[in-house]
Amino acid sequence: MADVTGKRILVVDDASLIRLYYRQALEAAGFTVEEALNGLEAIEKLLLEPVDLVIVDVNMPRMDGMTFLKTLRRQGSPIVAIPALVTSTEAAPQDLDAARAAGANFYLVKPLAQDVLVQYVRLMCGISA
């Protein structure tokens, strides 16, 4: 049950470098990785096919991470309950509070080591050590 096979992660970030960095780390850990460049694209992708976890940046063009999360948490089943991990360069308590209020399940501050990212992602996807 707790197998990484088939677990899909959607990385929502406008920076291609971040997407590549996360993709490499997650694929090496056995995940399947999808990408979206902004919140709008992410919502569209999720409506087509849900994933097991979304990793969201805060600052993005067209639809930012906070608006994306608020929109996501107003959708219906099954995508409404998809765990969301926010990664951001901002580390102030008010940034964390804002993400939580929008519906983020966890918040990690960038830059982020690949092993740390994988560790949290595995936990949030229910994959045992």
Q: Which residues bind other proteins (CB under 8 A)?
A: 1-2, 14-18, 20-21, 24, 28-29, 59-61, 70, 72-75, 77, 80-84, 89, 91-93, 96, 100-101, 103-107, 109-111, 114-116, 118-120, 122-129
Considering the complex, what minimum distance in angstroms separates the CB of residue 5 from other proteins?
15
Burial of 126 (0-12, 13-18, 19+ CB in 10 A): middle
Considering the complex, what minimum distance in angstroms separates the CB of residue 116 from other proteins?
8
By C-beta, is 47 or 123 nearer to other proteins? 123
* Gap between the terminal Cα atoms of the chain: 13
By C-beta, is 45 or 105 nearer to other proteins? 105
Dihedral Cα 99, 104, 107, 113, nearest 10 deg: -130
Considering the complex, what minimum distance in angstroms separates the CB of residue 94 from other proteins?
11
Give the contacts of 129 (CB within 8 A, at least 6 positions apart). 122
Considering the complex, what minimum distance in angstroms separates the CB of residue 19 from other proteins?
9
CA-based radius of gyration for the chain: 13
